[in-house]
């Protein structure tokens, strides 16, 4: 990648300044089939990274709310980004709050995998380690918690905050009011709130609507489920589309395998609302599905 006046950045500099490059060289992830492989960002993650970097360069900080499909790697991206920042910069504290204990444990396992698989030239020595905490000798750290206790996140200052599946938090309004007060409104701070849809109403819905309307500092990132190439299912011989599916196929250029996968998920969840496609207005979704192509790297 060329810098100013066509200068090509050396690899050492890119590791410190480009997360996508760092991730591919220094982070390992566990795949759905239990393989541990280098972290190559997928389509949704590349888009999220481009939006975050655009806002950071414009405003000096990151305030993002992400409305997404299921299992698209937004948490994998955010945990990797925050690990990159705290392991390479002094005085940064990252705090991650999830909707349930199992999710908290899974995300912290992911962070430990990032740390344990670091190559020697980027490995940073730990000062302290527990089941929910990593602390480095250079006065930076990484902590996780669960949104069950109303006081979670109120007691300490953090420069980086990730709220995972915020729409499913109990007492979400109280949690966010406390946690966001703990993040200084200063440059080089980052707040990423993300969730799948959970119906109309609630504090996450309000954040999405406010970001959509341009109220406040948060900017909206919408990531639809059909960006995932693997979200397809074998189409039966008697497959026919109904009126809603024909509309989706025409409007969003979906194929029958994607529609069949959607059918199966709605059947499994026993609800189209829980699937997420109808939790926000059709006009809202259409607006973002028209616009996201302007930002998406490597769009097919």
pLDDT bracket for residue 264 (50, 70, 90): confident
**Averaged pLDDT of the chain:** 85
Report how far residue 99's alpha carbon sits from residue 263's, in angstroms, rounded to the nearest whole number. Answer: 27
Report how far residue 69's alpha carbon sits from residue 139's, in angstroms, rounded to the nearest whole number. Answer: 35
Residue 92 has pLDDT above 90, yes or no: yes
pTM recorded for the entire structure: 0.84
Report how far residue 146's alpha carbon sits from residue 163's, in angstroms, rounded to the nearest whole number. Answer: 10
Q: Extract the tokens encoding 133.
A: 């905490």
In the chain, ranges of CATH 3.40.50.300 domains: 12-223
Q: In the beta sheet, which residues pair with residue 220?
A: 65
pLDDT bracket for residue 151 (50, 70, 90): low
Torsions phi, psi of 28, nearest 5? -120, 140
**Whole-number pLDDT of residue 233:** 93
What CATH superfamily is the domain 12-223? P-loop containing nucleotide triphosphate hydrolases (3.40.50.300)
pLDDT bracket for residue 126 (50, 70, 90): very high
pLDDT bracket for residue 219 (50, 70, 90): very high
């Amino acid at each position: 990648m060329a810098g100013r006046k066509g200068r090509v950045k050396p690899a050492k500099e890119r590791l410190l300044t480009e997360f996508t490059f760092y991730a591919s060289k220094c982070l390992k992830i566990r795949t759905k089939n239990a393989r541990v492989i280098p972290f190559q960002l997928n389509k949704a993650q590349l888009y999220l990274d481009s939006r975050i970097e655009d806002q950071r360069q414009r405003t000096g900080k990151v305030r993002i709310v992400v409305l997404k499909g299921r299992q698209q790697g937004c948490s994998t991206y955010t945990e990797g980004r925050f690990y990159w920042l705290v392991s390479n910069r002094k005085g940064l504290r990252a705090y991650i709050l999830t909707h349930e204990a199992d999710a908290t444990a899974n995300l912290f396992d992911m962070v430990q995998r990032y740390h344990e698989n670091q190559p020697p030239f980027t490995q940073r020595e730990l000062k302290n380690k527990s089941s929910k905490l990593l602390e480095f000798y250079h006065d930076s750290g990484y902590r996780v918690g669960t949104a069950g206790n109303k006081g979670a996140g109120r007691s300490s200052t953090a420069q980086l905050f990730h709220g995972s599946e915020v729409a499913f938090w109990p007492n979400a309004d109280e949690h966010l009011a406390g946690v966001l007060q703990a993040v200084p409104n200063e440059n080089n701070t980052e707040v990423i709130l993300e969730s799948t849809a959970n119906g109309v109403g609630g504090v996450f819905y309000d954040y999405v609507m406010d970001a959509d309307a341009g109220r406040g500092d948060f900017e909206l990132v919408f990531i639809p489920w059909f960006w995932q190439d693997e979200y397809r299912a074998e189409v039966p011989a008697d497959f026919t589309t109904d009126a809603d599916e024909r509309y989706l196929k025409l409007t969003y250029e979906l194929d029958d395998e994607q529609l069949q996968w959607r059918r199966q998920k709605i059947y499994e969840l026993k609800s189209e609302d829980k699937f997420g496609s109808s939790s926000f207005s059709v006009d809202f979704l259409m607006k973002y599905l028209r616009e996201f192509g302007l930002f998406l790297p490597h769009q097919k």
